[in-house]
Amino acid sequence: MSGLKSAWEISMEKSDKLVPEVQKQKKLTAKQKEQIAEVRKEFKAKIADKDVTLQHKLNRLVERTPPEQLEMESEKLKQEFVEEKEQLEKEMEAQIEAIRKPS
């Protein structure tokens, strides 16, 4: 053996140096993986529900809003959706983190 390292080995060494905390993380148990999958599924459903609600509101907006205000109101609804989605994603990540690091 000539002592040469493959690109894969070099890459792994570099990644270990860049992200040492990944090495310290414990492997997830099957139960934790199942719980995390359930949390993601739950929040994906909540976000999808918010999206459907947004689409419904946008469709009704055309009927109930003067044309000159339509774009402004539409953007307002979309921005509210983005903010709600970001909040839900933060909640999801917090729950997943709690599952990963039980006290």
Is residue 16 one of the residues assigned to a domain? no
Is residue 18 one of the residues assigned to a domain? no
**How far is it, in rounded angstroms, from Cα 26 to Cα 28?**
6
Is residue 21 one of the residues assigned to a domain? no
**How far is it, in rounded angstroms, from Cα 81 to Cα 51?**
7
Residue 10 confidence (pLDDT): 81
**How far is it, in rounded angstroms, from Cα 37 to Cα 42?**
9
Is residue 49 one of the residues assigned to a domain? yes
Structurally, how many domains does the chain consist of?
A: 1
Q: DSSP letters of 49-88?
A: HHHHHHHHHHHHHHHHS-HHHHHHHHHHHHHHHHHHHHHH
- What are residue 35's phi and psi, to 5 degrees? -65, -45
Q: Please state the length of the chain.
A: 103
Is residue 22 one of the residues assigned to a domain? no
Is residue 76 one of the residues assigned to a domain? yes
Alpha-carbon Rg for the chain, nearest whole angstrom, is 23
Residue 73 belongs to what domain range? 30-100
Is residue 15 one of the residues assigned to a domain? no
Residue 5 confidence (pLDDT): 76
What pTM, to 2 d.p., does this model score?
A: 0.70
Is residue 50 one of the residues assigned to a domain? yes
Q: Which two tokens stand for residue 79?
A: 């921005």
Residue 4 confidence (pLDDT): 79
Sequential pLDDT tens for the chain (103 residues): 457 778 888 887 777 676 666 555 678 889 999 999 999 999 999 999 999 999 999 999 888 888 889 999 999 999 999 999 999 999 999 999 999 987 5
Residue 87 confidence (pLDDT): 97
